[in-house]
Each structure stands twice: as structure tokens, then as C-alpha cells.
Amino acid sequence: NSLDETAVMDFATSLANNSSMKEFLINGNRKRITSKGLKAFSPVFDSPTSNLERIRFDPVPREAINDAATDLSDSLVNNKKLKYLIVLDKSTSPSDAAYIAFDQVLCDKSSISSTHLSNHTLRYLGCRVGNLGSCLGLNYNNHKELVARKKIMMVHFSGDCNIQPSSDMRYELYPHVLAWMAKYYSVNETNDSFSLLYQFMTRMPSFMDLNRARNSLVGGKRKRL
């Protein structure tokens, strides 16, 4: 292949409105794709029409990946189709900024809700680096609610976890939170679920106080009746 940047950008324009193509591969291209060419695919990833599951760009200079990483990752937030975006290889590791951009789209750690809404579809970037490998590996599971759950537990409820996000919830939401924590999808996760419940109950004395106050109130009403 000998596709120049203009040709690559033309492909991107047509792919944004194409619902039938599932693979787009540029292998051994004699002309290097720059960040401008990569960024042209952002509308493709963000398009609800596109059904692309696999894209490969080869070769791509490290500086092009680093420059385009934020645009690409932002466009992948709501993408539930693309599984393979092959822009890296074992000899091409992303910069810290590019790593952070891809890491955030795969597992946004800013809140439990953001983690739940992260990208749980993308499986491969060409190589696995640091925490990207863990999140990409989890995304191989087709049960996306389980993937979201595992990421939430990994980020927000592992080790010395922070229960503060839960403490700010309205009281009537607690039964739903507890039900979610207790729910498990396989025998292997049962211990994780009970461990999570234990952490929540021991670190949330205010919840226990509220529960006792509610029971006392209900009991008092019954006595008056």
C-alpha cells in the first residue's frame, strides 16, 4: 500500500457513515500516517452509524500516536462496537499523556458512575501497557455489566478503598447499593461480593445509625398502634 494522508482522511470521511464495513486495515503502508490522519478517525469512532470492530494502522510513528491520543480516546467513550484499535506494537509504548488518555477512557476513576460508563468494548491497542492491560483484558468478557462491576471493585473497593462516594448518597438508595454489592455472577466472585459488603458495613457506621434510627421509629409507631 502507498496511501498518503489525504487518502486516509478520505477513507475516514466515508467510514463515518458506513454501517456495513467491520474491518479497516492498513498494513505495511509505505507512507507513514501522521497524527492528522489518526485524528480524522475520531468522527468514525464517535459515529452511531459505524459498525467497525477492527482497525489497524501500520506503521504509525510514536509522536503521531501521542499527539492524537486525546482525540481518539475522547471519541471512544461511547463507542460500543470497536474491539481492536491497533496503533501500538511491542516496540512502541505511548507517552505518559497518551497512556493517561487511553487509561481514562477504559476506566474513568473520577467516580463510581464514571467508571461504570467507561468503555468496556475496546480489547486491544497492539500491546498491553500497565493498567491498560488489565482493563483491555477485562473487556474481552462479553458480559459488560460484569466488566463494569469488576472495574468498579478494582478501582473503588480494593485495598484501602474510599467509601466516601457512597456516604453522600440519599438514604433510600442504600438498599440498591447493598443489593448491587451482594450480587455475584459466578462462584469465583462470591468472596469478592461478601468482602465488599463487609468493607461497606464496617466503614459506614452512619448507615448503621440510620438503620437503627429507622427501626426505632417504625417500632415506636407500632407500639402507639
pLDDT in tens, 26-49: 877 666 788 898 999 999 999 999
The tens digit of pLDDT for each residue in 71-83 reads 999 999 999 999 9
Lowest mean pLDDT among 2-6, 133-137, 149-153, 176-180: 176-180
CA distances from 90 to 5, 32, 84, 127 (A): 24, 18, 15, 6
| Interatomic CA distance for residues 104 and 191, integer angstroms | 28
Query: Ramachandran region of residue 28, left (φ > 0), alpha (ψ -120 to 50) or beta?
Result: left
Q: What's residue 225's pLDDT?
A: 46
Nearest to 161 by CA among 191, 196, 110, 135: 196
| Interatomic CA distance for residues 124 and 113, integer angstroms | 24
Q: What's residue 27's pLDDT?
A: 75
More confident residue, 225 or 113: 113
Q: What's residue 189's pLDDT?
A: 54
